[in-house]
Structure formats: structure tokens, C-alpha cells
Amino acid sequence: MAFVQAAEHLSFVAAGRALGISASAVGKSIAKLEDTVGARLLHRTTRRVSLTEEGAAFYARCRRILDDLRDAEAMVSEATGTPRGRLRVSVPTIGYRFLLPIIPAFRQRYPDIELDIDFNDRLVDVVEDGLDAVIRSGPLTDSSLMSRRLGPFCFVLCAAPAYLERHGIPQSPRDLEMHDCLRFRFPTSGKLQTWQLTQADGVDPFRRPSPLTCNNMEALRGAAISGLGIAYMPDFLAREAVDAGLLRTVLDGYLAEPGQFSILWPSNRLVSPRLRVFIDHMTETLFRKT
């Protein structure tokens, strides 16, 4: 436990504070552990602590062991009807827009669950990274994971009103060939996102050079609001700006390809009470139209 806390905080002082012991006690405990395993697990300098290569691999296993221990404890406490403990979840970077609004209600129902949410777009290994669950969009390809659909979302094409006043409003997909189209590059693969448009055979919306290509959807949204061109993004990302009049959607009738978010978790691990209620809450509340 001392090693895991030190690895996560990269500080003996912070690890000791989390465990309720002194920093020197943490250091002695880790030194004894390193003697036992016969390898240096942490680099120490006067300024910082960092994991060695062996330490990083050892940390991943220790993290899972402690999570399994907490799961076993949670099983016993399940009879009390009070799920508790830490829940580690990975969510796409822009997921904060749909996830954070429903967290207060979850916290009110389950105040003893500690949420540790990692917002990023990298490909994660649920088991190796010691995660309880991940929320992702797109096709589900990993057969070792259990999954549940959270709900569909749609993509929209949108631009700032000022841009549309200058360049005109496209009436069909072919009109996009004469517009500035902002591109999104997937950070994990480096591939450019295609725009799924119906009745668009032979249309190349990217015939003109794009004024902006980036790998961050929030930046793409900001570029569209600034009037740089037309952007293709999830409806939940555009909704607030559209409602405020900062963006206007176009070609709504040509965007029929829905997206799908799912929550995934390891199939070879017991579903703890805290994970079960989190999955249920996500399924009941995410993407539900009021």
C-alpha cells in the first residue's frame, strides 16, 4: 500500500498523508519491499520520486491486487446496502460534457463511492491500467470485456452565424466543396475523420485546403465559433453553443449516421457493488432526452 500510494502521488510525503503515517515510514517500507523483490522500484532525488521500469510493471500488478482486495471487502459490505470504495473510470476527453452533469445525482445517491475519472483519448487497456471501466464510442472489438450500451448520439455540421453570412448556407452536401471545412485528426491513429453524409455520392467536402486540422474536438468547436469554417462534431458538444446562438447547424437532413457510447469492464473480474450501481446510473441517465 505504501508503494502504490507513493507511485500514484510521486511523493513520500503525500503517500504518508494518505496512509496516516510519516514520510520516513513510507520510505522505510518501500526500501524493505525493494529488498524483498530484489529490484529498485522508485527513483528518488531531493526533488521528486519516479517509477523505474520494474516499478511501473510492479505497480500495475499491485494496483490490481489492491482493487481486488477492495472488491472482496465490498462483497462483504454489500449486505449493508451501501456501495463504497474507489472507482477508476476512463472517459474520452470531451466526455466531461455529458458525464459531469449527472455526477452530482450519483454522488448524492452513493456518497461513499470515490470517483477517479481519467479524461483522455488514448487507447487504454482496462486490465493492465487497473481500471474498473471505460466509456468509449464506436464498435466494440475486445471480446474479453463486458459491455452495456449507454445511448446514441448524433453528429452535426455547424458554423458561426458570421461565417454563414459571409459564405452562404450550404443547401446540399455538394455545396460543402465551396466552403472551409475544419478537420479532426484522431489522436490515437492519426487518421482524419470522415463526414458521414447521406446522398453525398462523389462529393468531396475537403476539396479546398482546410484552414485548420487538429486532434482536439474542443479546439475544433472553438475554431467554428470563431468563424473559421464548418465543423463536424457530436451534438452534445455543439448543443450549448447552438442554444446560445454561437453556432448554427446546417444540412441537418443529410446527417443520419448515429454514434454510440458504451461502458465496458473486465469480464474476468467480479462486478463490485460500486461498479454495478455506476453502470446502472450511467445506463439510466446518459443521453436520456427530457
Q: Comparing 150 with 68, which gets the higher pLDDT?
A: 150
Distances (CA, A) of 266 to 52, 78, 148, 170, 269: 27, 20, 12, 45, 6
13: three-class secondary structure by DSSP: helix
- pLDDT over 70 percentage in the chain: 93
User: Of 263, 1, 278, which is closest to residue 113 (Cα–Cα)?
Assistant: 278
Structurally, at CATH architecture level, domain 1-81 sits in: Orthogonal Bundle (1.10)
Q: What is the mean pLDDT of residues 159-177?
A: 94
Residue 24 clears pLDDT 70, i.e. is over it: yes
- Mean pLDDT, the chain, rounded, equals 87
Helices (H), the chain: 2-9, 12-19, 23-37, 53-77, 96-99, 103-109, 161-167, 217-225, 235-243, 273-285
* Chain mean position to CA 230: 25
**Cα distance between residue 71 and residue 274, in whole Å:** 9
Q: What is the mean pLDDT of residues 102-115?
A: 93
pTM listed for this prediction:
0.68
Residue 242 clears pLDDT 90, i.e. is over it: yes
Instruction: Kindly report which listed range (15-24, 48-57, 92-101, 126-135) carries the lowest average pLDDT score.
Output: 126-135
Instruction: Kindly report which listed range (6-20, 74-88, 168-182, 185-199) carries the lowest average pLDDT score.
Output: 74-88
Residue-wise pLDDT for 28-70, tens only, equals 999 999 999 999 999 988 778 899 999 999 998 888 888 778 7
pLDDT confidence of residue 290: 43
pLDDT confidence of residue 74: 65
Domain locations in the chain as residue ranges: 1-81, 154-259
Residue 169 clears pLDDT 90, i.e. is over it: yes
Residue 200 clears pLDDT 80, i.e. is over it: no
pLDDT confidence of residue 267: 80
Residue 149 clears pLDDT 50, i.e. is over it: yes
Angle at 35 between CA 29 and CA 41, to 5 degrees: 75
**Cα distance between residue 238 and residue 221, in whole Å:** 7
**Top-level class of domain 154-259:** alpha beta
